[in-house]
């Protein structure tokens, strides 16, 4: 076995993730999709990386983000404050998909305490979140939407 074969074999048996972030971020159907890992502990450093990646993937700052927020995720207070402060200027609309009651409570606290300046809405299912985000992408809805969510 040559050194190339040994390197490939070693890489194939390496089970640690390539990055140590508790999330995945990708572009799909004209939206940015963001999925937190179940049980993720999101600190300020993780949030900085997320914000940096979103900025690199969408420098215009207008591409909506559909975020999956699973059970038992904890986002540190300073990470939430950073998101609100930095992303208020960028304005990415965020559709937050929450299916767990504890996670929903955290999302509601973010909405009411941090009061994000960017369009933000909480959904119980992915389909409704995608529709809302796509409406903002094509410009069908301008500005804040009436009601408790923006």
pLDDT tens, position by position, 9-63: 444 444 444 445 688 889 998 899 999 988 889 999 999 998 899 889 988 878 8
> Does any domain span residue 13?
no
- pLDDT for 98: 93
* 143 located within any domain: no
CB-based contact 24:35 (threshold 8 Å):
yes
Task: Express as a percent the part of the chain with pLDDT over 70.
Answer: 75
List, for residues 78-107, the tens digit of each pLDDT value: 998 888 788 765 568 889 999 888 888 888
- Asked, for residue 32, whether it belongs to a domain, the answer is yes
Please state, in angstroms and rounded to a whole number, the distance separating the CA atoms of residues 65 and 31: 6
How many folded domains does the chain comprise?
1
Angle at 84 between CA 81 and CA 90, to 5 degrees: 145
Three-class secondary structure of residue 69 per DSSP: strand
Domain membership of residue 149 (yes or no) is no
Q: Would you give the DSSP letter of residue 68?
A: E
Alpha-carbon span 121 to 119, nearest angstrom: 7
Whole-angstrom Cα distance, residue 149 to residue 108? 10
Q: Which residues pair with 94 in a beta bridge?
A: 65, 120
Cβ neighbours of residue 18 closer than 8 Å, sequence gap 6 or more:
none
Structure token digits, residue 131: 């529709």
Q: Which pTM was predicted?
A: 0.75
Is 76 a member of any domain?
A: yes
Residue 121 is assigned to a structural domain of this protein: yes
Question: Are β-strands 31-36 and 23-28 bridged in parallel, bridged antiparallel, or unpaired?
Answer: antiparallel
Question: Are 134 and 64 within 8 A, CB to CB?
Answer: yes
Give the CATH number for residue 34.
3.30.750.24
Burial of 36 (0-12, 13-18, 19+ CB in 10 A): buried
Considering only residues 128 and 85, tell me which one the structure prediction assigns the higher pLDDT: 128
- Domain range for 82 is 19-138
128 domain-assigned: yes
């Amino acid at each position: 076995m040559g050194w190339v074969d040994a390197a490939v074999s070693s890489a194939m048996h390496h089970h640690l993730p390539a990055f140590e972030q508790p999330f995945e971020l990708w572009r799909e159907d004209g939206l940015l999709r963001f999925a937190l890992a179940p049980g993720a502990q999101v600190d300020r450093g993780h949030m900085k990386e997320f914000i940096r990646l979103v900025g690199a993937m969408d420098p215009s700052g207008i591409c909506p983000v559909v975020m999956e927020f699973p059970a038992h995720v904890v986002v540190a207070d300073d990470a939430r404050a950073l998101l609100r402060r930095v992303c208020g200027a960028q304005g990415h609309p965020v559709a937050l998909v929450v299916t767990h009651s504890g996670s929903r409570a955290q999302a509601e606290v973010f909405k009411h305490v941090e009061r994000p300046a960017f369009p933000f809405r909480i959904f119980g299912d992915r389909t409704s979140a995608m529709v809302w985000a796509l409406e903002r992408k094509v410009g069908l809805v301008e500005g804040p939407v009436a009601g408790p969510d923006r």
